Amino acid sequence: MTASAHMQAPDTDPGYNFAYLDEATKRMIRRTLLKAIAIPGHQIPFGAREMPLPYGWGTGGIQVTASILGPDDTLKVIDQGADDTTNAVSIRRFFHRVAGVRTTTRTAEATIIQTRHRIPERPLTEGQVMVFQVPMPEPLFKLEPRLAETRRLHALGDYSLAQVKLYEDIARQGEGGSSYSHPVMVNHRYLMSPSPIPGFDNPKLHMSPALMLFGAGREKKIYAVPPYTSVVSLDFDDHPFRPVRAPHACAACGSTTSYLDEIVTDDRGGRMFVCSDTDHCAENQMARKAAE
């Protein structure tokens, strides 16, 4: 599959409004996005609509993307870091069909990157917007399932529940318990779920030049991290947060710094490790070939 295959048919499906959502819905989401940007890390309820894709499969991210997307944009969609995973393909096809928008697999070319569970390895730029698909926006939900209560705790800035949990994890097992969805403090005020990205990606949120938007469709919440905003993973001074990756080199491009997928190669314990970010891996391989 190549990026150009998606760029040949700019016509949109005439049965639907540009980018699927009706204009009243887009306005409601846009107003919510502006407030989300003005209050970094604060979850804002919004009237999420039923989308033609199931809840839990990116409906929040899709509604955010549909509300910001324009004809000048170039869209990249990744799932688990890869452009060619089936759900990423499905969402990219959806936007190609209803918005006729240019799509790409190249991180460098994209103006909007919708993602599930990863942030690209290539540093983002000021011209880019990340849209995260979020299954559970509430960072405290495992500790307190009642939304009326967590809303109160956020208002008070009372995050002692999360700190106690982290403390207990460290006391019991020597380190924090969460390997992905590790909560972050945004602009020193709100505790926020970074979505189920691996902890490895958390530092990429801090002072990023790109705008980060988060959409949770089923839970009907939108939140945002503006560019150049402090984002600190929850930790303790004597147990600082450590982003973790598999201690190997990518079998395809040789990278020793990228986040790796573990591939089971046989039933005798054979393993190999390759980049989860397929575009980054392809770029590395090209560069290596050019150097040879």
- Number of residues binding to other proteins, judged by CB under 8 A: 110
- How far apart are alpha carbons 27 and 29 in whole angstroms? 5
Does 204 contact other proteins by CB under 8 A?
A: no
In the shown chain, the binding pattern of residues 84 to 113 toward other proteins, with x for contact by CB under 8 A and - for none, equals xxxxxxx--x--------------------
Any contact of residue 239 with other proteins (CB under 8 A)? no
Q: Which of 60, 61, 65, 68 binds other proteins (CB under 8 A)?
A: 68
Examine residue 16 and tell whether it contacts other proteins (CB under 8 A).
yes
How far does Cα 27 stand from its chain's mean position?
23
Q: Which residues are catalytic?
A: 41, 250, 253, 275, 281
CB 138 within 8 Å of CB 147: yes
Cβ–Cβ < 8 Å for 46, 33: no
| Measured CA distances, 220 to 136, 143, 154, 264 (Å) | 10, 20, 17, 37
How many Cβ atoms are within 10 Å of 151's Cβ, its own excluded?
Answer: 13
From 11-19, 160-168, 232-240, span contacting other proteins (CB under 8 A) = 11-19
Query: 23 to 62, contacts with other proteins by CB under 8 A?
Result: 23-24, 26-28, 30-40, 42, 44-52, 54-57, 59
Phi, psi of 129 (to 5 degrees): -120, 130
165 binds other proteins (CB under 8 A): no
Per-residue CA distances from 104 to 71, 82, 116 (Å): 14, 12, 16
Is 249 near other proteins (CB under 8 A)? no
The residue from 156, 171, 290, 291 that contacts other proteins (CB under 8 A) is 156
